[in-house]
C-alpha cells in the first residue's frame, strides 16, 4: 500500500520527542504513589481504624500553573505541527504511524501471522483511517489487563459526493454532503482546500494504488449571501440548508473551460478526465492529478473532504491558546500518542505488567458503526488476538479475564465554560481551559464514567500532580456522547470518559488551552504506568458470595486496605467465608 504522495514534515512529532525522552526515563519514580496524600477530605478518614478508606478518598484538582513550562510549550508547538499535517483521518493516521515507527514500534499486518514478544512495541492500521498501537510489559502474564486510551481521528466537515459535478450556472461548483454535526455557518467565506484519499489505476501499467492527497492552497470557497439580500440574518440567525447553500465554488465556468490554467498553463478539456469527467468536472480531476503526479484519467475513485487552509497556530496575549480546526479530536490523538511513547521506553516496560495501548478510531462523529469505528470489532479483535499471541497454549477464559482486568480512558474533547454563554452550563460543573483533563459524567449513560472509574482516573492525576475537573450538563439540556459508552458496551471493559476543555467545538476553527496538552500527556502517561497497581487496591467484584478478601474489605468504616500502606499478602489473599 502506498501511503501518500509526499512525506509528512517530521516537525509534527519530533519537536516534543526530546522533552519526552528526557522525562520518560524517570517517570516511573517521579509519579510514585506517596505515603502522604496531597489533599484529603478528612471527613472520610476512618478514625476508628486509623486508616483511610480506599473507596472514600476525594481527590481535589490542584491549581493550574500560571506560567507554562518548557515541556508545555514544546507539546503545544508539537500539537500545532501535528494538526497542520493531519488534515483528514487518513493523514492523522499516517502522522501517528510515522511517529511510532521512529520510536521503534514495529508495523503489523492484520492479514498475516503475528509473533509478539514481551517488551515488544507494535502498531497496525485499519482502513488507513484508524490505528492500534501497543507495548507489551516485560512482566506480562496471561490474563493481565490492557490499559487503553481511545480517541478518534475524524472531525465534522463537508465531504465530496460520489458525483461531484454540478451542471449549469456560470460557476464550477462541487457537490458536497455533511459529515457529522458541524457548525456549518463557520465554513462560509473561508479559504478551502481539498484532502483525503484517492484510488489510482495506472493507464500504463494497470497498477492500482491507494494514495493520500492534500491540496493545501485555497482552491474553493463557500460565499455568504450579502446582508443586502438577507436583511434579517443578524436578528434571526443564519439558516443553512446544506443541499442548497454549501456547494463550494471551484472556478468560473468561463475560466475553467476556455482559459489556460494559471499555474500550470495546461488547457483543461472534457477529455482530460476520460470516463470520470461524467461524474466530476475535469478541472477537479486535473487539480488532484497534479498533486498525485498521475493523469486525470487514472483517478478511479476517492474519499475527499473540504479543509480550511489557515494553519493551526498558538495565540492569545500570553500564547496561552491553540487555534485550529479538528482539535476535536486530534488533540486527544496527539496526547495519547505521546503518553504511550513515554510509557513504552525499554526502562518503563522492563518489569511492567499488562499491555499499554492506544486505539484511534474513525467515524465517531457519525455513530462509530463501521469496521474502523469503536462500535465495530476492532477492539475485541485486538484484545483477543494480542492476548492469544502472548500466551503459550490454551488458557481458560483468557479473553474474558483479560477484558475484565482492563481499563479504557475514552479521551474526547470537553466543553469549557463559555464566558458569553455562562447560562448554558451547569453552575457547579464548569470546566476551564488550563484546568487539566475533564471527567465527564451523565446519569443516563451518555458517558461511560462511574464512581469507580472516575475515582481511579482522578486519583492517578492527583498523585501525578496534574489538575482534574468534572463536567455534567444542565438537567434541562440534552447531553452529547462519545466512544466511551460504545466501547464499554461492546467489550465489557471498565471505561472513563475524559477530555481537554475547549471552546467552539465543531466549528471550522476551535480553541483550547495550550497548558492542557501537557496536562493530558502527563496524566495519560501516569495512567499507563500506575493503573494496574492502583487497580489491585480497590476490589469491587468477587466478595459478595462465598469469595472474599477479606469479608470487611468493602466496608469503608472498617477497611483494612489502604492506598498508603501496601500489604501485598493481604491484597492477594482470597479466602472462603465460613
Q: What is the pLDDT of residue 134?
A: 98
* 98 band by pLDDT with thresholds 50, 70 and 90: very high
Mean pLDDT lowest among 54-58, 368-372, 384-388, 534-538: 54-58
**All cell numbers assigned to 300:** 478511479
pLDDT at 234 over 80: yes
Q: Where are the alpha helices (DSSP H) in 282-352?
A: 282-292, 327-342, 346-349
Cα distance between residue 82 and residue 414, in whole Å = 20
* Nearest CA-CA partner of 486 in 398, 333, 361, 384: 361
Q: What is the pLDDT of residue 563?
A: 41
**All cell numbers assigned to 82:** 501535528
Q: Are strands 355-361 and 146-152 parallel, antiparallel or unpaired?
A: parallel
pLDDT at 62 over 50: no
pLDDT at 186 over 70: yes
Cα distance between residue 29 and residue 33, in whole Å = 9
Higher pLDDT pick, 104 / 570: 104
Q: Give the orientation angle of helix 327-342 with respect to helix 11-24, to 10 degrees.
A: 40
Q: What is the pLDDT of residues 288-312, one digit of tens each?
A: 999 999 999 999 999 999 999 999 9
pLDDT at 192 over 50: yes
Q: What is the pLDDT of residue 478?
A: 82
Higher pLDDT pick, 393 / 265: 393
* Nearest CA-CA partner of 377 in 387, 388, 369: 369
Q: What is the pLDDT of residue 578?
A: 34
Q: What is the pLDDT of residue 546?
A: 59
Instruction: Give the 3-state DSSP-derived string for 195-222, with helices as H, strands as E and coil as C.
Output: EEEEEEECCCCCCEEEEEEEEEEEEEEC
Q: What is the mean pLDDT of residues 176-182?
A: 97
**All cell numbers assigned to 143:** 490474563
Cα distance between residue 223 and residue 238, in whole Å = 13
Q: What angle do CA 133, 139, 142 make, to 5 degrees?
A: 80
Quote the percentage of the chain above a pLDDT of 90: 73
* 203 band by pLDDT with thresholds 50, 70 and 90: confident
Q: What is the pLDDT of residues 208-222, one digit of tens each?
A: 999 999 999 999 999
Torsional class of 397: left (φ above 0), alpha (ψ -120 to 50), beta (otherwise): left
Q: Are strands 407-411 and 146-152 parallel, antiparallel or unpaired?
A: parallel
Q: What is the pLDDT of residue 66?
A: 57
* 231 band by pLDDT with thresholds 50, 70 and 90: very high
pLDDT at 576 over 60: no
Distance of alpha carbon 66 from its chain centroid, rounded?
A: 26
Round the average pLDDT of the chain to a whole number and report it.
84
Q: What is the pLDDT of residues 407-452, one digit of tens each?
A: 999 999 999 999 999 999 999 999 999 999 999 999 999 999 999 9
Residues 6+ apart with CB under 8 A from 317: none
Cα distance between residue 171 and residue 174, in whole Å = 10
Cα distance between residue 576 and residue 578, in whole Å = 6
Question: From the CB of residue 454, how many other CB atoms can be counted at a distance below 10 Å?
Answer: 20
Q: Are strands 355-361 and 130-136 parallel, antiparallel or unpaired?
A: antiparallel
Mean pLDDT lowest among 25-39, 183-197, 253-267: 25-39
* Nearest CA-CA partner of 495 in 541, 459, 452: 452
Q: Are 380 and 62 in contact (CB under 8 A)?
A: no
* Nearest CA-CA partner of 88 in 248, 222, 216: 216
pLDDT at 284 over 60: yes
**All cell numbers assigned to 315:** 495565540
Torsional class of 506: left (φ above 0), alpha (ψ -120 to 50), beta (otherwise): left
Q: Are strands 494-499 and 407-411 parallel, antiparallel or unpaired?
A: parallel
Peptide bond before 329: cis, by omega within 30 degrees of 0?
Answer: yes
Quote the percentage of the chain above a pLDDT of 70: 79
Amino acid at each position: 500500500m502506498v501511503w501518500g504522495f509526499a512525506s509528512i514534515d517530521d516537525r509534527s512529532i519530533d519537536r516534543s520527542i526530546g522533552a519526552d525522552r528526557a522525562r520518560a526515563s524517570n517517570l516511573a519514580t517521579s509519579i510514585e504513589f506517596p505515603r502522604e496524600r496531597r489533599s484529603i477530605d478528612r471527613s472520610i478518614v476512618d478514625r476508628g481504624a486509623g486508616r483511610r478508606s480506599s473507596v472514600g478518598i476525594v481527590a481535589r484538582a490542584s491549581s493550574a500553573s500560571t506560567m507554562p513550562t518548557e515541556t508545555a510549550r514544546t507539546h503545544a508547538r508539537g500539537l500545532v505541527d501535528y494538526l497542520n499535517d493531519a488534515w483528514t483521518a487518513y493523514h492523522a493516521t499516517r502522522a501517528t504511524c510515522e511517529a511510532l515507527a521512529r520510536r521503534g514500534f514495529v508495523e503489523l499486518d492484520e492479514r498475516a501471522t503475528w509473533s509478539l514478544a514481551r517488551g515488544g512495541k507494535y502498531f497496525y492500521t485499519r482502513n488507513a483511517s484508524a490505528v492500534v498501537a501497543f507495548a507489551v510489559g516485560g512482566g506480562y502474564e496471561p490474563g493481565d489487563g490492557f490499559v487503553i486510551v481511545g480517541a478518534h481521528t475524524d472531525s465534522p466537515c463537508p465531504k465530496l459526493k460520489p458525483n461531484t459535478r454540478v451542471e449549469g450556472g456560470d460557476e464550477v461548483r462541487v457537490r458536497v454532503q455533511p459529515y457529522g454535526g458541524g457548525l456549518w455557518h463557520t465554513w462560509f467565506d473561508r479559504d478551502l482546500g481539498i484532502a483525503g484519499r484517492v484510488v489510482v489505476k495506472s493507464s500504463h501499467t494497470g497498477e492500482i494504488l491507494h494514495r493520500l492527497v492534500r491540496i493545501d492552497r485555497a482552491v474553493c470557497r463557500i460565499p455568504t449571501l450579502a446582508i443586502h439580500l438577507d436583511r434579517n440574518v443578524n436578528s434571526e440567525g443564519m439558516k443553512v440548508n446544506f443541499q442548497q447553500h454549501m456547494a463550494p465554488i471551484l472556478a468560473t465556468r468561463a475560466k475553467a473551460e476556455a482559459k489556460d490554467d494559471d499555474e500550470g498553463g495546461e488547457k483543461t478539456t472534457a477529455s482530460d478526465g476520460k470516463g470520470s469527467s461524467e461524474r466530476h468536472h475535469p478541472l477537479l480531476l486535473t487539480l488532484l492529478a497534479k498533486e498525485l503526479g498521475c493523469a486525470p484519467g487514472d483517478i478511479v475513485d476517492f474519499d475527499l473532504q473540504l479543509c480550511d487552509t489557515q494553519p493551526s497556530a498558538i495565540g492569545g496575549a500570553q500564547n496561552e491558546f491553540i487555534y485550529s480546526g479538528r482539535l476535536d479530536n486530534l488533540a486527544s490523538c496527539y496526547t495519547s500518542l505521546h503518553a504511550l511513547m513515554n510509557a513504552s521506553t525499554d526502562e518503563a516496560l522492563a518489569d511492567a505488567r499488562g499491555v499499554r495501548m492506544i486505539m484511534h478510531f474513525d467515524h465517531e462523529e457519525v455513530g462509530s458503526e463501521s469496521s474502523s469505528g469503536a462500535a465495530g470489532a476492532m477492539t475485541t479483535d485486538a484484545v483477543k488476538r494480542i492476548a492469544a499471541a502472548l500466551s503459550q497454549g490454551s488458557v481458560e477464559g483468557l479473553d474474558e479475564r483479560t477484558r475484565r482486568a482492563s481499563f479504557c480512558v475514552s479521551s474526547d474533547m470537553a466543553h469549557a465554560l463559555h464566558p458569553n454563554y455562562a447560562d448554558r452550563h451547569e453552575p457547579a460543573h464548569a470546566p476551564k481551559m488550563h484546568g487539566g483533563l475533564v471527567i465527564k459524567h451523565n446519569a443516563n449513560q451518555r458517558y461511560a464514567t462511574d464512581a469507580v472509574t472516575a475515582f481511579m482516573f482522578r486519583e492517578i492525576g492527583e498523585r501525578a500532580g496534574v489538575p482534574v475537573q468534572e463536567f455534567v450538563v444542565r438537567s434541562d439540556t440534552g447531553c452529547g456522547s462519545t466512544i466511551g459508552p460504545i466501547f464499554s458496551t461492546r467489550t465489557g471493559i471498565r471505561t472513563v470518559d475524559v477530555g481537554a476543555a475547549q471552546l467552539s467545538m465543531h466549528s471550522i476553527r476551535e480553541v483550547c488551552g495550550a497548558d492542557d496538552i501537557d496536562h493530558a500527556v502527563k496524566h495519560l502517561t501516569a495512567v499507563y504506568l500506575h493503573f494496574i497497581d492502583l487497580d489491585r487496591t480497590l476490589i469491587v467484584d468477587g466478595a459478595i458470595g462465598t469469595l472474599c478478601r477479606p469479608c470487611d474489605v468493602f466496608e469503608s468504616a472498617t477497611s483494612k486496605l489502604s492506598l498508603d500502606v501496601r500489604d501485598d499478602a493481604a491484597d492477594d489473599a482470597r479466602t472462603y467465608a465460613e
